[in-house]
Structure 1
Amino acid sequence: MTALQITAVQRNEPRAADACCTSAGAPVLGSEEAQGKAHLFKALADPNRLRLLSIVKASDGGEACVCDLTEPLGLGQPTVSHHLKILVDAGLLHRQKRGTWAYYSLVPGALERTAGVLATL
């Protein structure tokens, strides 16, 4: 704590960090909401996962088999499956099992909601 902050505490004044959050009257992002949004951004923070989203979106019928996703990325099936699971857990992709293969498609509206997340900060 700086000398100025200590003086403010001694006088019972709000610190600058406390005051800045409420001075504009705008809603403040809560801890749980911030964690949820961070989870989404962490899922998008990997170039391979961004490529997977792009490939799935551009695929015929808007879906892609996991068997078709390993070659474009140059990664093994376990690694691709791990990235896909992260995207599913983040609510960006939907997984449908058909026989021995899993097919992935974009969750309707997921990209639009993701784009709107920053606007709500």
Structure 2
Amino acid sequence: MKMNYEENARIIKSLSDSSRLKIIDILSCGEKCACDILQYFDFTQPTLSHHMKVLIESGIIQVRKEGLWNYYQLNVNNCNKLTLFLMNLVTETEECICKDKSNCTCKSKQSV
């Protein structure tokens, strides 16, 4: 599996806010309307809209419009990809970047 560091860094950056993490936790229970999400916070609807925009652009959540209402849910496929990326990042595997000798510039590692 090729590691896409830039893409995953963008997603992780979108999660680096405690309110956004809380939104992810709320949506782990299933699809929710914006008004249902807002009840868990002490901020305004425009602030929630900003957080949702960041999460949608990162691909972690998706939105469905129904009339005047927006319904949000986790993008399970992208959440699973992020989880797999993080697991591979902290686990030594045969595809690990350190196993690729072409990335090594020190002489001691090249002779190993």
Q: Does 1:56 align with 2:56?
A: no
Q: 1:1-121 residue pairs with structure 2 within 5 A?
A: 33-58=4-29, 62-121=30-89
> Between Structure 1 and Structure 2, how many residues are aligned?
88
45-54 vs 101-110, which deviates more?
Answer: 101-110
Report which structure shows greater RCO (CA 8 Å, sep ≥6): 2
Residue type of the alignment partner of 1:44? L
**Cα offset, 1:98, TM superposition:** 0.7
Over alpha carbons, which structure has the higher Rg?
A: 1
**Cα offset, 1:73, TM superposition:** 1.5
Aligned-pair identity in percent equals: 33
Q: Which runs of 5+ in 2 are unaligned?
A: 90-112
Q: TM-score, normalised by structure 2?
A: 0.71
Q: TM-score, normalised by structure 1?
A: 0.66
Distance 1:118 1:72 in 2: 28
Kindly report structure 1 stretches of 4+ aligned residues shifted beyond 3 Å: none
- Higher helix proportion (structure 1 or 2): 1
| Deviations 1:1-24, CA, capped at 9 Å, x for gaps | xxxxxxxxxxxxxxxxxxxxxxxx
